[in-house]
Amino acid sequence: MLAHNSNTVYLSLLSTNLPLWHIVESRASLYQKDRDKFHLLLQQKRPISSASATKEEDKSISSNNSQGELLWLEISPYRVIMTMQSQGKLSYRHFWEKGIYGTSRYWLNEDPPEKSGSLRLRNFTRYLKLEGQPLPTSLQIEYELWSAKLQLGCYVLHLDVDR
């Protein structure tokens, strides 16, 4: 597996019909698994403090913050799987493939694991485009998120990889 370390990536998620917009800038490692299959690993630091947090909470968050959240994308021109594993309470996995209803699964990391809860939603991928040769430089996914027959919004995920 060919590795390209320390690429700067910009990952943005926005909703086209809700007031949601989030951008992550991070260093990442890009691994070429096959001719047009890639793995991208990035670590996102969690925010450290909020206005209502106590100093004791800040210390506990700060000690766990060194791990942050690991975001792993399995990318090909046909499908994308994104998994976020965190030391915190929430993790998720999204499966997108153009024209297909994929799954978006969210789960809680509880102790003991038997107490963990899980939520599965469906997503419909309207658009998926991967650009860049021989290594990806840009990825865009446009999708709808659904719970049964209720649409929970339309979203655009965009990834830029600087080389």
Domain boundaries, the chain: 2-45+67-86+94-162
Residues 9-46: tens digit of each pLDDT: 999 999 999 999 999 899 999 999 988 899 999 987 65
Give dist(CA 150, CA 4) in Å, integer: 41
Q: Is the pLDDT assigned to residue 58 strictly greater than 70?
A: no
Residues 67-79: tens digit of each pLDDT: 577 899 999 999 9
Percent of the chain with pLDDT over 70: 76
pTM for the model: 0.80
Residue 30 backbone phi and psi in degrees, to 5? -110, 125
2-45+67-86+94-162 CATH: 2.40.128.20
Percent of the chain with pLDDT over 90: 55
Degrees, nearest 5: CA angle 128-134-140: 20
Residues 126-146: tens digit of each pLDDT: 999 999 988 899 999 999 999
